[in-house]
Chains A and B, each alone.
Chain A
Amino acid sequence: MSEELETERNDVREDGRRPPRAVVGSHRIEEEMFGKAFDGRIVSRIWAFVSPYRTQVAISVAAVLVFTGTQLVIPLIIRYAIDNGMAVGNPNAAALGWAVAAFAVTILINFGASYVQETVVGKVAENVLFDIRRAMFEHLQRVSLSFMDKTEVGRLMSRLQGDVNSMQEFLETSVLSVGDIVLLFGIVGVMLWLDFRLGLLTLSVLPVLFIVRIFWLPRARKAFMAAHETNSVTNGALAEAIHGVRAVQSMDRQQVNFTLYDDKAHANLKTHLTASKYAQVMVPIVDSLTGLAMAVVIVVGGSMVVNTTLDVGVMVAFLFYIQRFFDPIRSLTMQYSVMQRAMASGQRLTEVLDVRIDVKDKPDATVLSGEMDGSVEFRNVTFGYNPKHPVLKNVSFRVNPGETVALVGPTGSGKSSAMALVHRFYDVQQGEVRVGGHDVRDLTQESLGRQVAMVLQEPFLFTGSVFENIRYHKADASFEDVVEAAKAVGAHDFIMSLADGYETRLEERGGNLSLGQRQLVSFARALVADAKILVLDEATANIDSYTEMLIQKALIKLLEGRTGLVIAHRLATIRGADRIIVLQNGQLIESGNHDELMAQGGLYSKLYNLNYASFDDIPDAQLEAAVENGSQT
């Protein structure tokens, strides 16, 4: 079929057309870069993080004022030296001496003030940054899991890093921009004070600058944003090429992808050149205006000097001020976009901080003691992630101390939800879940967590040594405890075969172990935790048969002397349970031991008789048929 495609399947056609279905990278821009320049609500939220450092902020603002003051004074001292010390025909060594002394004092003050200001601002900004990040991270430890379920880790990470970092720029520059504003007004003020008419005349170039800026700013910002955007698009395409390189090579897409990437990189080049034009076009304008202002001072000031209405020193001071004049204006316009960015980031930060915490300890919550009996009971539990669509409907059952109960049922029957409720990952809408005779909502989450150990379907391991991972829950567990647990679950042998035994560092998420091995480590971890109750979600993925045997053995060990609630997929596990509970569509439809359920002839017996090694292997059609028959009986 489609032989004509065979020939040039993967290339750009001769006429330069690109394959219609070929794209590299994502075209979607994730989020708003710029917000309003000022948002009172967000500023007040940020202020809450700054206010613990009020004193330091006050000190640094004071230091900025002093610093700016000294900068304003220096040309005045030079002026004094020229007019009083070096006056034509009337030199005055004492005046020069005074001027030099004043200069020395001023620069010492300048030194101190700049030191204090920059140190304090820099450190406070870093502190605030880390505080914000900490607050967010801590908040995320407590928000409800339903929020975490639907939010990607990558998205949260860009909150915790990108957005927090763009606040840093804002915090650091905002104190400095206080200085800029003071400097700007200071220069204007001093010039007007030195000579009102000349000052006014010199300042008359300013409106020109403002008008130019007004026209320039929106266009320039658009150009800068376009450059920023193409840059992230190009980088995104590169990242994709890196992550997907194996797929690219195996489907021989290098050639097309290179052409498409070239398009993107070229667009990026063009936007950057445009942005660069916009940035540079202001240079001659500012320089011309500076030149104009200086020319005005020379011509007008010069004739005023001749008319003796102005001292030469004042003229020199003016020339000095003019050269410093445009700096604050430049940095203030930069500050504007920093603020916009900060507001957009601040908005996203507060969204994270404002996520509601649904599950929290009652003020008078009791501590679940290790002496409790270890029973688990569901009393008329109704629960749904969305209350309108309950996934568990009026479910009641009891697991007696030391008993192992297998939860069985088709996908979507509510098994995993039931398991999550025991640990109070979510709160029920009706009824109650009781552990050790207490409603879980009356217990502290901390103590509940100590008594209920969970093993999840996808075993998650942390970066760190095998040893650290196994004693994750019990930081004070000794090496012997850990080895004993690993031996008990049959993980010891493979751990010892690793390069550094128990000290072998696991890569991200235990990537250097096989799924089965990770499972065994997570069993050992649960065993070390030594909780009264074990909740376990058996893995569905195919594991090689040898490891499978180890896991089955480990499971028996793990459940010894504990209350067990197991979401079981494998028949071997189900048969090993004391009692089986069958869920379907959120309802408990059968309960009893294997023989009782087989005798009942319901859904369980139907599934069992299909004779698959795992309930997950049952084809949909057969499953549906069984479910239908099961519910009829």
Chain B
Amino acid sequence: MTLRHPWQVSIAIGSTIVAAGLQLMIPLLLGRAVDETQAAFTGGAAGAAAEEALWMTALVLLIVSILRGLFTMSQNYYSESVGHHIGYELRLACYEKIQRLSFSFHDQVHSGDLITIGMLDLEGVRMFFSTALVRVVLLSILIGVGAYLLLSTDLLLGLVALSFVPFVAWRSSVTQLRLRSTWLDLQERLSVLTRVMEENLGGIRVVRAFAAQLHEMGKFDKASKSALSLAHERVGIRVRNTSAMTFSFFLSMGLVLWFGGIKVMAGEISVGTLASFLTFMTILQMPVRQLGLMVNSFARASTCGSRLFGLLDLDIAVKDAPDAKPLVVTEGTLRFENVDFAYPAQEARPVLKGVSFTGRRGETIGIVGPPGSGKSTIAHLIPRFYDVTGGRITLDGQDIRKATLATLRKAVAVVQQDSFLFTTTIENNIAYGDPWAKERRIERAAESAQLHNYVLGLPSAYGTVVGERGVSLSGGQRQRLSIARALMLQPAVMVFDDSTAAIDAATEQRIRAAMRKYAEDRLTIIIAHRLSSLMHADQILFIENGEIVERGTHEELLALGGRYKALYDLQVRPGDDVLNEVQGAAQ
């Protein structure tokens, strides 16, 4: 990935090398300055020359400092830039992938997990490229070259000065890894706490209704204490190690002072050399500690990366076949031919078995059946949210698996049971499938869906923001909005998937009347519990356990006297009858 930004990466690494070199010069220059000062102090001709040299050293030091600053800036900026560019590319890839992955994937993966991958994991990978790569270069140069300089100046003193490095590097790596694993645990416990709070606040009426505040505080305290004790443990781990690391650093500094002092007294090294040893140690202290952070960053990047790239590498279950052609709608005839289906997660449990039916333009098909019988599945198969596991579905003779998804989904609109509102204005929500739409069309769709009058009553009418951060709509209003949304499209097949459950019967009646004209041009499929929603259909299918057990018009099915008739009786009988039966059964 870094290869995609070759010049930025080269600049970052080049700057790092130069900056590290300049950094290493500073202790040497300081040491020289101290020695020159002492030489000048001793006086004599050498002394006068040393005084001259002192000016020179000061000037060089100033220039080196400035250059170091500039190269460090360039190093940091370009490495961050590489990270940000990579982050940008990953964001796009991740977004595109999530958008394209099929329903079967989204059914199985919690949306919270996807958010974690798309935000936190992506950030972890980005940070790695932003900082860790350049740090590796910087650290190896600082420690490598620095160690060489020190050891070549004075082997013993060099060894003493560097003695803290392995200890600190080891401790900080171990600590960071431990902190990381406890961090993951802590996140886990905090998410339990979050859930306790979220549920409590969401269900506050139940909590109050059962006077369960004490019980709830108990749940909260339990979750809270378990998180707190781990948080304390983390503080302990962190502190024990930073203190130990600082101590080991100062310990070797003390030893350098001691041995170095003896050597200075013995005349083996100069005071300046000692000063440059000490300065060098100060410079090295920070990066060595960061070793641990780097190890952490590697660990994080590898877990984050494996999750992120795992997502990006996923196969999309429902996609265009290699030889896919645009769907050509002529007659508008939809045919289910012996369709079998089972969800990928539960292949052993067939949801649909040998379902066949045909619908033509201008017709209405009603589908009814007990919960879990497979009604909604039929709705999901037509736009290929899932692929059939047996048989085939055709639109004007073309197997829908051979058509491109984009053209198929233009030809099929599904009004979902639970409609999602986007955080934007009502008009943009209605025009979601046709964002070039003119205002007039939007209003007309809203009128047909019996939403227009309600919208006009809102503070900014069609400009009112709805959704997560906007005005909240009731279930029925949302369903009406999603009907309006579907009316904006001009599909050949329109499917209502139990999408009027929260709308009262009378409003539904009015919606149907308003749609009559619209329905002439397409096939309408209505899936519902309420029989009044689909009694008028040209063909009614009664589904049970994934099979069509009865089919015909309303009258035919009533005459048949089977399951449909039983359901009809239950729904239209006056209250007295039901009551008697229920009471009879209860006794």
| Residues on B with beta carbons closer than 8 Å to the beta carbon of A276 | 76-77, 80-81, 84
Q: Which of B176-184, B208-216, B300-308 contacts A (4 or more CB under 8 A)?
A: B208-216
Which residues from B are CB-within-8-Å of A166? Answer: none
Q: Is the CB of B238 within 8 A of A244?
A: no
B271: CB under 8 A from chain A?
A: yes
Are A141 and B65 closer than 8 Å at their CB atoms? no
Q: Which residues of A sit under 8 angstroms from B413, Cβ to Cβ? A: 250-251
Q: Please tell me if B458 contacts chain A, counting CB pairs below 8 Å.
A: no
- Please name the residue on chain A nearest to B102 by beta carbon: A249
Tell me which residues across on chain A come within 8 A of B473, comparing CB atoms.
none
With a cutoff of 8 Å between Cβ atoms, the chain A residues found around residue B570 in the complex are 545, 548-549
19 residue pairs of the A-B complex, CB under 8 angstroms, read: A21-B437, A28-B469, A85-B261, A103-B250, A103-B254, A110-B247, A153-B201, A238-B115, A265-B95, A283-B69, A284-B73, A287-B68, A287-B72, A449-B212, A454-B205, A516-B371, A542-B529, A570-B575, A613-B572
Whole-angstrom distance between the alpha carbons of A279 and B215 in the complex? Answer: 49
Number of B residues, CB within 8 Å of A: 165
Q: CB-nearest residue of chain B relative to A93?
A: B265
Cβ-neighbour of B420 out of A243, A319, A616 (below 8 A): A243
Please tell me if the beta carbons of A107 and B254 are within 8 angstroms of each other in the complex: yes
Summarize B's interface: helix, strand, loop or mixed. helix
Is the pair A107, B247 in contact by a Cβ cutoff of 8 Å?
Answer: yes
- Additional pairs, 6, CB under 8 Å, beyond known A119-B235, A138-B217: A85-B265, A96-B258, A130-B228, A323-B279, A323-B282, A456-B205
Judge whether A599 is part of the interface by a CB distance below 8 angstroms.
no
- In the bound complex, what is the Cα–Cα distance between A142 and B207 (angstroms)? 11
Complex Cα distance A430/B441, Å? 51
Taking a contact as CB atoms closer than 8 A, the residue among A99, A251, A256 that contacts B485 in the complex is A251
Write the chain A residue with the least CB distance to B36: A302
Q: Which residues of chain B from 450 to 504 have any CB-CB distance to chain A below 8 Å in the complex?
A: 465, 467-469, 475, 485, 489-490, 501-502, 504
Residue among A30, A103, A462, A514 making CB contact with B469, cutoff 8 Å = A30
Chain B residues whose CB sits within 8 angstroms of the CB of A516 once the complex forms: 371
Q: Across the interface, which residues of A come within 8 angstroms of B119, CB to CB?
A: 235, 238
Judge if A261 is at the interface, Cβ distance under 8 Å. Answer: yes
A137 touches B69 (CB 8 A): no
Which chain B residue lies CB-closest to A18?
B435
**B136 interface residue (CB < 8 Å to A):** no
Q: Evaluate whether A618 and B432 lie within 8 angstroms (CB atoms) in the complex, with A110-B250, A145-B205, A312-B271 already known.
A: no
Contact with B along A413-453 (1 / 0, CB 8 A): 00000000001010000000000000000000110111011
Is B106 part of the binding interface, using a Cβ–Cβ cutoff of 8 Å? yes
Whether B239 pairs with A115 at a CB distance below 8 angstroms is yes
- Does A572 contact B211, Cβ atoms closer than 8 Å? no
Which of A44-52, A120-128, A582-590, A625-633 contacts the other chain?
Answer: A120-128
Residue pair A154, B468 in contact (C-beta under 8 Å):
yes
Of B195, B207, B506, the residue contacting A620 (CB under 8 A) is B506
Residues on B with C-beta less than 8 A from A182 are: none
Q: Is residue A213 contacting chain B, with contact meaning CB distance below 8 A?
A: no
Q: Interface with A: B47-55, B154-162, B354-362, B552-560, which one?
A: B47-55
Contacts of A292 in B (CB 8 A): 62, 65
Interface residue B434 (Cβ < 8 Å from any Cβ of A): yes
Min Cβ gap A568→B in Å is 10
Q: Determine if B210 and A290 form an interchain contact, defined as CB atoms under 8 angstroms apart.
A: no
**Interface-side segment among A215-223, A293-301, A337-345, A389-397:** A293-301
Given contacts A118-B242, A254-B99, A575-B579, contact A240 B423 (CB under 8 A): yes
Q: How far is the CB of B457 from chain A (nearest CB, A)?
A: 15
B505 sits at the interface (CB 8 A): yes
Closest Cβ of chain A: how far from B342's Cβ, in Å? Answer: 18
Contact with A along B344-370 (1 / 0, CB 8 A): 000000000000000000000000001
The 0/1 profile, CB within 8 Å of A marked 1, for residues 28-69 of chain B is 001001101110111100010001001101110111111011
Tell me, yes or no, whether B567 is within 8 Å of chain A by CB.
Answer: yes
Q: A177 at interface (Cβ–Cβ under 8 A)? A: no
**CB-defined interface of A259-302 with B at 8 Å, one 1/0 digit per residue?**
00110011011001100110111011111101110111011011
A557-B424 Cα distance, complex, nearest whole Å: 47
User: Which B residues lie within 8 Å of A53 (CB)?
Assistant: none
Least Cβ–Cβ distance between A106 and chain B, in angstroms: 8
If A137-B197, A141-B217, A247-B432 touch, whether A618 touches B91 (CB-CB below 8 Å) is no
Given contacts A250-B413, A460-B203, contact A157 B198 (CB under 8 A): yes
Most buried by A among B61, B87, B507, B578: B578
Whether B206 pairs with A240 at a CB distance below 8 angstroms is no
Confirm or deny: A315 has a beta carbon within 8 angstroms of a beta carbon on chain B: yes
Stretch of A3-11, A188-196, A380-388 that contacts chain B: A3-11
Residue among B76, B87, B279, B432 with most chain A CB within 10 A: B432
A19 on interface, CB distance cutoff 8 Å: yes
CB pair B433–A301 under 8 Å, yes or no, is: no
Give A489 Cβ to nearest chain B Cβ, in Å. 11
